């Protein structure tokens, strides 16, 4: 009995050591899963297992023994095919073969039972796959029990006389328990301790004190999931772990989107801060600092579009009637049509320069006066739109003046969203409302 317990403890220690090494060297989860509450078709549900180990007539519980106390270790081997019904339960068909032996300690009697084959159908329970306490565990305790038919032929030796009985096939009950270790995706290493209740004549003693004989099969082996390798194995799936993993992935995705949105908002805030700085009018003359060529103008002094005081000369002027022709209006209309600004800014795009140059030439040639009226849609605050419309009108004035136009004959005004020409409820309407109007006179 002491030797047997030492062997069991050694196998258990080896399994725990192997699992510890796997846990330390494997960063990936030992639990396989896909979409929570998804169909069973997303998993691999069939698996096969092979194993080998040793048998003897004793057991750790110390019952159903016919006096064979002298350990006689023999070779056993097994294989099975299993259908996983749920993460924690499967049904398997098992084959077992090998030899089993035992002897009296006084050496007067021994037996050896050969098992060419046996077949059993068992239900297997996995404690790790639906239990919070075994969440994402590499070690998976299991237990199975079933019923089947075992074919055996026993040789009984008494003293120097051996007698071989005829082979028989009888019902037997296997009870297996142990641990599975998730060594790789769809692969488990198994360590098990199996008790087999067999027919009364299994050990060669007919009519013994027990209704059934009992032998032990201590084994190790591998289990392989069958099917498409891209699918997870149901026998390594914990629904709780799958649900948490799905939640974590969605949380990480939402967090990444939120971080990106915050970064974009910060960039827009920086642009807005810069725009507000450009639109300041420290001397209160109606011309933004960015375009004010004469900062610090005293309050109440009339200034031109560049922010400089207008000098009024006392002289007699001959007032001529200004005639604006259709050709003049077409030049202005083309400039309005082609006028574009950078998004959210008053910076004129280079594509607008050509038509604006023609307006400047017209102002110089015919000495026209020009009123520039900036307008916006209703997107954003009214204060921001008033400033942006004023700044864009001033930007056009500054460009025309840079091309030689008389600044005193150009008036730039911003009306913000107060004078729409279309509905702000549609994108097309808002586009029409974002404009700078030119009026020659």
Model pLDDT, residue 69 = 78
Helix segments in 367-441, DSSP class H: 382-402, 427-433
Does residue 47 register a pLDDT over 50? yes
Instruction: Decide if pLDDT at 20 tops 70.
Output: no
What residues pair up with 216 in beta bridges, in sequence order? 56, 195
Average pLDDT, the chain: 83
| Residue 43 pLDDT greater than 70, yes or no | yes
Q: What is the pLDDT of residue 354?
A: 92
DSSP-derived 3-state class of residue 78: strand
Between 222 and 208, where is the model more confident?
222
Q: Give the best-scoring range by mean pLDDT among 60-69, 276-285, 346-355.
A: 346-355
The pLDDT value recorded for residue 138 is 84
- At 289 the pLDDT is 77
**What is residue 12's predicted lDDT score, i.e. its pLDDT?**
44
pLDDT digits (tens, 9 = 90+) for 232-251: 898 888 877 777 777 777 88
Give every CB contact of residue 221 below 8 A, 6+ residues apart in sequence. Answer: 49, 50, 51, 52, 78, 189, 190, 192
Q: Is 342 helix (H, G, I), strand (E, B) or coil?
A: coil
Orientation angle between helical segments 382-402 and 239-278, nearest 10 degrees: 50
pLDDT above 70 for 15 = no
Which residue, 186, 193, 194, is CA-closest to 222? 186
pLDDT confidence of residue 295: 83
Q: What six digits make up the tokens of 415?
A: 């009306």
Residue ranges of alpha helices (H) inside 26-120 are: none
Phi, psi of 359 (to 5 degrees): -65, -45
Question: What is the pLDDT confidence band of residue 23, given thresholds at 50, 70 and 90?
Answer: very low
């Amino acid at each position: 009995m002491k030797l047997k317990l030492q062997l069991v403890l050694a196998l258990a220690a080896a399994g725990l050591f192997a699992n510890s090494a796997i846990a330390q060297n494997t960063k990936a989860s030992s639990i396989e899963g896909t979409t929570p509450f998804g169909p069973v078709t997303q998993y691999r549900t069939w698996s096969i297992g092979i194993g080998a180990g040793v048998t003897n007539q004793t057991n750790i519980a110390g019952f159903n023994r016919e006096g064979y106390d002298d350990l006689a270790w023999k070779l056993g081997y097994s294989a099975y095919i299993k259908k996983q019904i749920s993460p924690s339960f499967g049904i398997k068909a098992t084959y077992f073969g090998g030899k089993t032996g035992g002897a009296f300690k006084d050496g007067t009697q021994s037996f050896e039972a050969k098992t060419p084959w046996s077949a059993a159908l068992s239900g297997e329970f996995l404690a790790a796959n639906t239990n919070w306490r075994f969440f994402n565990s590499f070690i998976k305790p299991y237990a199975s029990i079933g019923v089947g038919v075992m074919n055996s032929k026993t040789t009984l030796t008494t003293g120097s006389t051996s007698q071989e009985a005829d082979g028989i096939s009888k019902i037997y009950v296997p009870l297996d328990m142990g641990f599975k270790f998730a060594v790789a995706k769809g692969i488990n290493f198994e360590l098990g301790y199996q008790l087999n209740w067999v027919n009364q004549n299994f050990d060669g003693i007919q009519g013994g004190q027990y209704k059934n004989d009992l032998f032990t099969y201590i084994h190790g082996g591998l289990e392989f999931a069958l099917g498409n390798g891209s699918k997870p194995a149901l026998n390594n799936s914990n629904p709780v772990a799958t649900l948490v993993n799905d939640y974590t992935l969605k949380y990480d995705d939402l967090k990444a989107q939120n971080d990106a949105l915050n970064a974009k908002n910060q960039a827009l805030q920086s642009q807005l801060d810069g725009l507000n700085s450009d639109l300041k009018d420290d001397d209160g003359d109606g011309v933004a600092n960015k375009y004010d060529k004469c900062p610090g103008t005293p309050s109440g002094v009339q200034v031109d579009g560049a922010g400089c005081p207008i000098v009024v000369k006392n002289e007699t002027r001959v007032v001529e009637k200004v005639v604006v022709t259709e050709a003049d209006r077409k030049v202005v209309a083309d400039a309005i049509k082609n006028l574009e600004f950078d998004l959210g800014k008053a910076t004129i795009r280079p594509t607008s320069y050509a038509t604006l140059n023609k307006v400047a030439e017209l102002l110089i040639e015919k000495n026209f006066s020009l009123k520039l009226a900036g307008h916006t849609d209703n997107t954003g605050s009214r204060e921001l739109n008033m400033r942006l419309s004023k700044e864009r009108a001033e930007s056009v004035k500054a460009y025309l003046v840079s091309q030689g136009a008389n600044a005193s004959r150009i008036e730039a005004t911003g009306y913000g969203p107060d004078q729409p020409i279309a509905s702000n409820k549609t994108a097309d309407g808002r586009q029409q409302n974002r404009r700078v109007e030119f009026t020659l006179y």
